[in-house]
Amino acid sequence: MTQASSTDLSASAPPHAWAPAPAPSAPIAAAARAFGDDYPGLTGQWRVKVAGLLLLLTTVLYVPWMLRSLDAHLPWLAYPFAAANLYSLLYGLVSVANAWQRRVPPRRPLPAGDEPGVAVIIPTCGESVPMILRTIVSVLGQDWPAERLTVIVSDDGHDPALEAALAAYPVRYHEPPPRDAPGRDGAAKAGNLNSAVALLDAEYPDIRYIETRDADDELGSDGFLRQVVGQLEARWGLAFVQTIKEAQVSAGDPFNNRESMFYRGQMLARNAANAVFPCGSGVVWRRTALREIGDFPTWNLVEDLQSGVEALRRGWSGMYLPIVGAVGQHSPEDVPNVYKQRGTWAIDTVRLLIWGRLSGLTLRQRLHFAEMLMFYLNAFTVLVYLPSIACSLLGYTPLAATRAGYLGHMLPLVLATEVWLLVVNHPFYDRRRRQRRRLRALWHVRIMWTGMAPIYMRATVQAVLGGRTRKPVYRVTRKVDDVRWHWRHTLPQTGLVLAVFAVLVYAVGHQRVPSVSVLAGAVYWGGMNIILLTGFVTRGWHGLGRVRSAVHGPSPLEGVIRATPEVVPEAS
């Protein structure tokens, strides 16, 4: 059989007239394929180190002053503020320590003719057939010999329309046992994957590498397998290689679905500490390593993070390769779906890092995973910072300090924090220069961090109270947007904003607002949260302008309110 051609298979027409056509390729995926797999070496790490040192030095300057300046007459306000402040600062210093070193692996593309057999498992559960076909077409069309590629579509939705459509493609349709069937290893996605792995063991025992790809994630790089398997072939102790997961998003990526700070920053630091973990799609596993951890783990909600931890703590290595391996055809851009997806990530992470087995991890690896846990726990500081700003508006401030004290100790910390966030949010080799605006991108990231605080708090409590044995129910993320005003889902954020605003109105009306110097201690920590929460509330009606434009025709404001997909315009 000859090597598949990406040009032929990318055509939108179905193989037979009766079969549905694949969905059109996402613009960002087409751009990623056009750019190719080249990437530069690591540069600019000195900026990260300088910004980290500034944050460290200003923290050392600030903390003793803050502790000395606590208002002893208001212990009920001052001490919680100090505790929240210390936690936030500690979280910042942990992130500095983890980002101190980053590593970009050298390219090791596998030469033509040396390709081993690779199996691609695409688990499905009710996704649209054209979307799944788009993913399959992209996989079949990559630069890899067709006779060395085995594609298994493992359908937990048991969809006869999908089975019929796949008859026209050189793939294997597989139906795992029902979720409650005896002998099934895992109820959710992990169980689906394990069923497909069992099929591979029975019928394709010589397969050395297994790729997992979500049903809605089309290939972002025609050389994906050539680059990733080349790394696995070069290092025996390498268990898996994870690549960049991109996403087709609305202009400005208002829900931070691209996760640029993670995929184009933090994962490079994890490379340096051997703390990389799989992200569920765009990842290739060595079959030997997967077999040693007992295949995909089923103890947690999803399999990706835990599978990586299980491999790392047994002495295996993981790698992050900065090529675009997967592109989500759809990203959640309505608040309930975002809650579902990010809430699942939060419960999964907190549950694993509190109740899971971490023995065998090195100190550096533990520090990287601790940062993930601290991120979610940091949401609880909102419960302190918002009352602090509200009380400060009435003249009850957690800090009793002079204007000179604020200027000499707090202002440097604030500036250093902002510089640090701007530097670490600068993505590695992001070639979308026209669309990406650094300040806007960082602002959207921070809106999501703060706006999701109620969800992260609830997820953390659920994970802690559930203990080791009570696993929450997993639900698949919707692949369509529910575009309407989700005001009920943003009531917690709206209520907090309105409560502080009511206090402000009361304080102004009764002339109780203190001077700016007195307010300074709470304005940055609390006031910033109010602004960010307000930004998140507006996400509750995201996309309504697009719908109204479609119903009523173009309006003079169409260019302002319409959320159009981001497209990569040109190579840098």
Q: What DSSP line would sit under 461-504, residue for residue?
A: HHHHHHTTT-PPPP-PPPSS---S--TTTTHHHHHHHHHHHHHH
- The percentage of residues in the chain with a pLDDT greater than 70, rounded to a whole number, is 91
- The percentage of residues in the chain with a pLDDT greater than 90, rounded to a whole number, is 79
Most distant CA atoms of the chain, gap in Å: 83
pLDDT band at 9 (very low <50, low <70, confident <90, very high): very low
Per-residue pLDDT at 1 exceeds 60: no
Residue appearing with tokens 């590593």 = 103
Q: Do 281 and 326 touch, CB atoms closer than 8 A?
A: yes
**Cα-Cα end-to-end distance for the chain:** 37
> Which whole number is the average pLDDT over 71-96?
97
pTM reported for the whole predicted model: 0.91
> Which whole number is the average pLDDT over 425-434?
82
Q: How many CB atoms lie within 10 A of CB 412?
A: 17
pLDDT band at 435 (very low <50, low <70, confident <90, very high): low
CA dist 320 and 267 (Å) reads: 6
pLDDT of residue 546: 67
pLDDT band at 564 (very low <50, low <70, confident <90, very high): very low
pLDDT of residue 353: 97
Min mean pLDDT across 24-28, 147-151, 372-376, 566-570 is at: 566-570
Q: How many CB atoms lie within 10 A of CB 203?
A: 11
Angstrom CA distances, 520 to 82, 205, 321, 401, 497, stand at 15, 66, 44, 10, 19
DSSP three-state, residue 218: strand
Q: Give the ranges where 69-184 is alpha helix by DSSP (H).
A: 75-99, 129-140, 160-166
Q: Do 126 and 476 touch, CB atoms closer than 8 A?
A: yes
pLDDT tens digit sequence for 448-486? 999 999 999 999 999 999 999 988 887 888 889 999 999
pLDDT tens digit sequence for 410-422? 999 999 999 999 9
CATH topology of domain 118-330: Spore Coat Polysaccharide Biosynthesis Protein SpsA; Chain A (3.90.550)
pLDDT tens digit sequence for 198-234? 999 999 999 999 999 999 999 999 999 999 999 999 9
Angstrom CA distances, 97 to 123, 172, 358, stand at 37, 46, 20
Per-residue pLDDT at 2 exceeds 60: no
pLDDT of residue 547: 62
Please provide the DSSP assignment of 74-102 as one string.
Answer: -HHHHHHHHHHHHHHHHHHHHHHHHHS--
CA dist 219 and 211 (Å) reads: 12
Angstrom CA distances, 523 to 79, 129, 150, 516, stand at 17, 51, 58, 9
Q: How many CB atoms lie within 10 A of CB 86?
A: 14
Q: Nearest-CA neighbor of 146 among 325, 5, 13?
A: 5
Q: Do 297 and 469 touch, CB atoms closer than 8 A?
A: no
**Side chain identity at 40, as an amino acid letter?**
P
Per-residue pLDDT at 130 exceeds 50: yes
Q: Do 156 and 504 touch, CB atoms closer than 8 A?
A: no
Q: Label residue 26 left, alpha or beta by phi (over 0 means left) and psi (-120 to 50 means alpha).
A: beta
* Token pair in block for residue 567: 């497209």
CA dist 459 and 344 (Å) reads: 8
Q: Do 124 and 132 touch, CB atoms closer than 8 A?
A: yes
If one compares 558 and 385, the residue with the highest pLDDT of the two is 385
pLDDT tens digit sequence for 132-191? 999 999 999 999 999 999 999 999 999 999 999 999 999 999 999 998 888 889 888 999
For the chain, the average pLDDT equals: 90
Q: Do 97 and 210 touch, CB atoms closer than 8 A?
A: no
Q: Nearest-CA neighbor of 423 among 28, 160, 49?
A: 49
Per-residue pLDDT at 563 exceeds 90: no
Give the 3-state secondary structure of 432-455.
CCCCCCHHHHHHHHHHHHHHCHHH
Q: Give the ranges where 189-320 is alpha helix by DSSP (H).
A: 189-203, 224-234, 260-261, 267-273, 287-292, 304-312
Q: How many helices (H) and strands (E) does the chain have?
A: 24, 8
* Token pair in block for residue 46: 């000195």
> Which whole number is the average pLDDT over 423-440?
82
Q: Give the ranges where 249-405 is alpha helix by DSSP (H).
A: 260-261, 267-273, 287-292, 304-312, 335-355, 363-377, 382-393, 403-405
pLDDT tens digit sequence for 274-320? 999 999 999 999 999 999 999 999 999 989 999 999 999 999 999 99
CA dist 553 and 546 (Å) reads: 10
> Which whole number is the average pLDDT over 532-544?
95
CA dist 287 and 98 (Å) reads: 30
Q: Nearest-CA neighbor of 222 among 4, 1, 2?
A: 4
Domains of the chain, by residue range, sit at: 54-102+375-455+485-561, 118-330
CA dist 424 and 44 (Å) reads: 11
b/e per residue, 373-402, with b = 16+ CB within 10 A?
Answer: bbbbebbebbebbbbbbbbbbeebbbbbbe
> Which whole number is the average pLDDT over 500-517?
88
